[in-house]
Amino acid sequence: MVLWLPRIAALPEHCVPHKYHVLPHTSNTINTMAASSALAELFHYVRHWPWLPALSGLLVTYFVLDALYQVFLSPLRKIPGPWLARVSRLYKVWRVYDGGVHHKDIAAHQKYGSAIRVGPSHVTVSDPAAIPLIFGISSKFLKVITPPSFIKAVPEMTEQGDFYKPFGARYEGTPWDTMFSTRDPFYHRSLKVPVSQKFSMTSIRQFEPMADECAEMFLAAMQELEGQTIDFGSWLQWYAFDVIAAMTFQARFGFMEKRTDVHGMIGAIEKATVYGTVISQVPALHAWLLENDAVLWLVKKLAPNTPNPLVHIIDIAKREIERYESDQKRGARTDFLALLQADINSGKNKMTDRELLNHLSNNLLAGSDTTGISLRSIFYYLMRNPSTYRKLVAEIDEADAKGALSEYVTYAECLQLQYLQAVIKEALRLHPAVQMPLERIVPEGGVTVCKVYLPAGTTVGVNPLVIHHNTDVFGADADKFRPERWIESPEAQLKAMERSFLAFGHGSRTCIGKNISILEMGKLVPQILRHFDVEWASDWKVHTYFFAKQNPQPQLLKPVRPRTCLPMLEPSAKLIFARSAAHDREHATWR
């Protein structure tokens, strides 16, 4: 039996026909007809409800009075910003709905200054000095407002701080929060502490052979596809997803072998981030959408083929756990799942089954997009700056000639390539994977930021892209791609740039998978440039729905000098990487 629309049950019982309170598990057709009929009767009742005019009048009065308060009496009234932002969250929705928040935030700060009002109780700031205050390890700025009894009990969440709620999910009828989406710092700590050592660079480096295996497949595919039309950007993400799957489950999902979005996982994550980005601007809507079991049930009945992206990823992780448990050779495995299971079995880690599933699915949700986006940005800026490209290739060739690079570049070896490290960092500065503000709540007592007082309860955010364009920190040419700034700048400026670098977040909420991404980038970029000359074909388009994804990224690759490390890679014709109608048709058959 399934309860129908429990939030409507708050109406008087006679408001909803009794026969529609509970829907039996009959055929899909009957359930669909019943649900549609129930909605029709409910709308008919509301339309003729005698109190509707009075209620409408009260609502209009409330919104008018609230707008007047926000404009003339709010503590934030003197903070500059668009007029709509003062009275409505609609401005926040407008900022993100078309994927252009990265451009809009930069333009807004250039127009209004370092602190701007983007909602009735929402402010974004661009002063790097605010970073440790808002995101520091000891910061009192949390993702949610909590009552004084917070330490003694799990808090009841209020609307302030609900920005992160739509990025969570409901799984098997209960809320499902990850380390990113949870607003409870105690729960975040309970998730992070047991696994933090597993994400240290020392621990991650044991997975290097898995990354090397994926790099071998990537380079072999590039050789095989010479002369064909493909999207290089998609290949970079397929590589990243296969690497994180291998590290997590010691089994690739086969993105590079099948040359498509396996199980629709990439598309599912994209849908989830679009939903989370838009709905998080008016988080109260989430309770009536994907947080509502009745709505999820209704959607499943009316449109059974509609995917639930986050649940889809969790189910995949659950199947991998089942595969591990049935694996007769699981004792020899060294993947992330095996390491966690070993800790659980030894009693070192008291992680529950649900927490284990949470960590594994979180690897998939966050482990490929950030790396794929970053790899695309590295090659994008190399192609747009030929002198930088030539300088990096020369550094790699020189190291290769000296025998300083292994068959597959190790992480230790890539650290010795100083210009490579500067190129990677500069690309992530100009195109961080996340290009929208990460919100926090001003704690009790209020605070002054950017010479503006923000009262307790104000939502404040910092957009990494805006900070990364700060000329006081990164120089007058902050909008230019110049890796040399990370090598030649005075020590004081270097420290300031490091403090203002938000590509992986900051403080206790720094991306836990940061080292995986750094390792993948440091190894793959020189590996590609050892074997291929890369030329630009056309530009890209960026859409920011939490992640700033570039699509497509056509490029032109030409195999170059024969190398002993990969005998299969020999000089041959051009590899053309560009999107075409023929390519789209071919991909359609794969999907």
Tokens 């002054």, located at residue: 448
Can you tell me which residue has the tokens 């420290």?
Answer: 495
478 found inside a domain: no
In this predicted structure, which of 19-28, 240-249, 268-277 has the lowest mean pLDDT?
19-28
Helix (H), strand (E) at residue 548: strand 547-550
22 vs 381: which has the higher pLDDT? 381
pLDDT reported for residue 210: 97
pLDDT for 509-522, tens place per residue?
Answer: 899 999 999 999 99
Annotated ligand binding at 511? The verdict is: yes
- Do 177 and 204 share a domain, yes or no? no
Residues near 63 by beta carbon (within 8 Å), at least 6 away in sequence: none
In a domain, 485, yes or no: no
The pLDDT of residue 58: 76
pLDDT of residue 578: 31
Q: How many CB atoms lie within 10 A of CB 406?
A: 11
Instruction: Determine, yes or no, domain membership for 25.
Output: yes
244 plus 144 within the same structural domain:
no
**Residue % of the chain over a pLDDT of 90:** 55
In one-letter notation, the amino acid at residue 305 is: N
Domain residue limits at 29: 2-49
Residues 263 and 248 in one domain: yes
Coil, strand or helix: which one is 158?
Answer: coil
Is a pLDDT exceeding 70 seen at residue 33?
no
**Banded model confidence at residue 470, pLDDT cuts 50, 70, 90:** very high
In DSSP notation, 186-200 reads HHHHHHHTTTGGGGS
Give percent of the chain above pLDDT 70. 79
CA distances from 584 to 68, 371, 401, 589 (A): 52, 24, 41, 9
Q: Is residue 508 part of a domain?
A: yes
Give domain status of residue 487, yes or no.
no
CATH number at residue 572: 1.10.630.10
400 and 424 housed in the same domain: yes
Candidate ranges 132-141, 179-188, 365-374, 403-412; pick with highest mean pLDDT: 403-412
User: pTM of the predicted model, to two decimals?
Assistant: 0.83
Is residue 118 very low, low, confident or very high in pLDDT (cuts 50, 70, 90)?
Answer: very high
Under 8 Å between Cβ of 448 and 454: yes
Looking at the structure, do residues 294 and 420 belong to the same domain, yes or no?
Answer: yes
Q: Is the model's pLDDT at 571 over the cut of 50?
A: no
- How many other CB atoms sit within 10 Å of the CB of residue 292? 17
Average pLDDT over residues 325-351: 90
Is 80 exceeded by the pLDDT of residue 352? yes
Q: What pLDDT was estimated at residue 409?
A: 98
Higher pLDDT among residues 588 and 311, named by residue: 311
Mean pLDDT of the chain: 82
The answer to whether residues 123 and 220 belong to one domain is: no
In 3-state terms, what secondary structure has residue 307? coil
Give the 3-state DSSP-derived string for 95-152, with helices as H, strands as E and coil as C.
HHHCCCHHHHHHHHHHHHCCEEEEECCEEEECCCCHHHHHHCCCCCCECCCCCHHHHC
Write out pLDDT tens, residues 453-466: 999 999 999 999 99
pLDDT at 16: 43
Query: Does residue 389 sit within a domain?
Result: yes
Q: How many CB atoms lie within 10 A of CB 134?
A: 22
Q: What would the mean pLDDT of 89-112 be, rounded to a whole number?
A: 96
Cα 267 to the center of its chain, rounded Å = 13
Q: Judge if 340 and 227 occupy the same domain.
A: yes
Does 183 lie in the same domain as 115? yes
| Predicted confidence (pLDDT) per residue in 532-544, tens digit | 887 766 678 899 9
Q: Identify whether residues 329 and 358 lie together within a single domain.
A: yes
Residue 483 belongs to some domain of the structure:
no
Residue 18 has pLDDT above 60, yes or no: no
Give 489-508 pLDDT, tens digit per residue: 999 999 999 999 999 999 88
* Residues 410 and 445 placed together within one structural domain of the fold: no
**Cβ–Cβ < 8 Å for 197, 542:** no
Instruction: Convert the pLDDT of each residue in 273-310 to its tens digit.
Output: 999 999 999 998 998 888 888 888 888 888 777 767 67
Residues 11 and 83 reside in one and the same domain: no
Give the pLDDT of residue 7: 38
pLDDT band of residue 4 (cuts 50, 70, 90) is: very low
Residue 498 included in any domain: no
> Are 107 and 243 contained in the same domain?
no
Residue 577 is predicted with a pLDDT of 32
| 127, 449 Cβ separation under 8 angstroms | yes
- Look at residue 22 in the predicted model and tell me its pLDDT: 39
The mean per-residue pLDDT over the stretch 152-160 comes to 39
pLDDT tops 90 at residue 1: no
| 228: confidence class by pLDDT, cuts 50, 70, 90 | low
DSSP state of 24: -
Question: Interhelix angle for 232-249 vs 336-346, to 10°?
Answer: 20
Tokens 């053309």 found at: 576
CA 296 to chain centre: 23
- 42 pLDDT band, cuts 50/70/90, is low
DSSP tag of 576 = E
For 399-409, the pLDDT digits (tens) are: 999 999 999 99
- What total number of domains does the chain contain? 3
Return d(Cα 374, Cα 544) in angstroms, integer. 14
Query: What's the full length of the chain, in residues?
Result: 591
For 304-321, the pLDDT digits (tens) are 777 676 788 888 899 999
Q: What single-letter amino acid sits at 256?
A: M
From the CB of residue 564, how many other CB atoms can be counted at a distance below 10 Å?
6
